[in-house]
């Protein structure tokens, strides 16, 4: 195994789980949103507001291109990263795609107090449901395996993923 790629919607625990898996496996951790914020020197919400979604999606594709030689990394991706086939292809070359998912109500509870979340600024629960309806088939199709994080503690999610990776 070279790397592990975490995919899934906002609030499904990708960064928290990713950091823990990295610790347990002795891998490094990288978050594509953080790379973009660092290189652009702007918050994701500012990038969306100032340049629009397409510009942000292009930045995501650029980040994945720069990761092609990475080895022994846990890569947490933004929730929309797998919407482009091109990105999925490059991610698959890096390692297995692990989908973290949960139901809209849990996502809502986890992110309701967070301001400046592009795409779900208003009518949050409805927006979450609407976007998930479009994305769920894509997430499921591209994932090598998936874990429902709704009722699990972080360490349980990590254990399940580590067990799956050993298979």
The footprint of ligand S3P on this chain (CB under 6 A) covers a number of residues equal to: 10
| Residues making up the binding site | 11-16, 33, 57, 79, 117, 135
Say which residue the tokens 């139901």 belong to.
103
**Residue 9 vs 73, nearer CB to ligand S3P:** 9
| Residues making up the binding site for ATP | 11-16, 117
Query: Quick one: which segment of 8-16, 88-96, 102-110, 148-156 binds ligand S3P (CB under 6 A)?
Result: 8-16
Angstrom distance (rounded) from CA 143 to CA 38 = 28
- Which one of residues 10, 17, 35, 142 is an interface residue with ligand S3P (CB under 6 A)? 10
- Which one of residues 39, 65, 86, 119 is an interface residue with ligand S3P (CB under 6 A)? 119
Angstrom distance (rounded) from CA 95 to CA 1 = 7
Provide the edge-to-edge strand list for the sheet that holds 145-148: 28-31, 73-76, 3-7, 97-101, 145-148
79 binds ligand S3P (CB under 6 A): yes
Angstrom distance (rounded) from CA 138 to CA 159 = 25
Cβ-in-10-Å burial (0-12, 13-18, 19+) of 113 comes to exposed
18 binds ligand S3P (CB under 6 A): no
Residue 160 φ then ψ, to 5°: -60, -45
CB 97 within 8 A of CB 91: yes
**Residue 92 vs 135, nearer CB to ligand S3P:** 135
13 binds ligand S3P (CB under 6 A): no
Sign, CA dihedral 156-161-165-167, equals positive
**Residue 78 vs 104, nearer CB to ligand S3P:** 78
Query: Quick one: which segment of 75-83, 85-93, 142-150, 158-166 binds ligand S3P (CB under 6 A)?
Result: 75-83
Interface contacts to ligand S3P, rule CB under 6 A: 9-10, 14, 33, 44, 78-80, 118-119
């Amino acid at each position: 195994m070279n790397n592990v790629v975490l995919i899934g919607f906002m609030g499904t625990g990708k960064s928290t789980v990713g950091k823990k898996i990295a610790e347990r496996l002795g891998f490094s951790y990288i978050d594509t949103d953080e790379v973009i914020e660092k290189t652009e020197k702007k918050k994701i919400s500012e990038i969306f507001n100032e340049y629009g979604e397409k510009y942000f999606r292009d930045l995501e594709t650029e980040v994945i291109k720069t990761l092609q030689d990475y080895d022994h990394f846990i890569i947490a991706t933004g929730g929309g990263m797998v919407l482009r086939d091109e990105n999925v292809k490059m991610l698959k070359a890096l390692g297995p795609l692990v989908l973290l998912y949960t139901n809209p109500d849990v996502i809502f509870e986890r992110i309701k107090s967070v301001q400046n979340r592009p795409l779900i600024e208003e009518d949050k629960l409805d927006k979450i449901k609407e976007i998930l309806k479009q994305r769920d088939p894509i997430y499921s199709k591209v994932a090598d395996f998936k874990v429902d994080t709704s009722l699990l503690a972080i360490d349980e999610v990590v254990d399940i993923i580590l067990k799956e990776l050993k298979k």
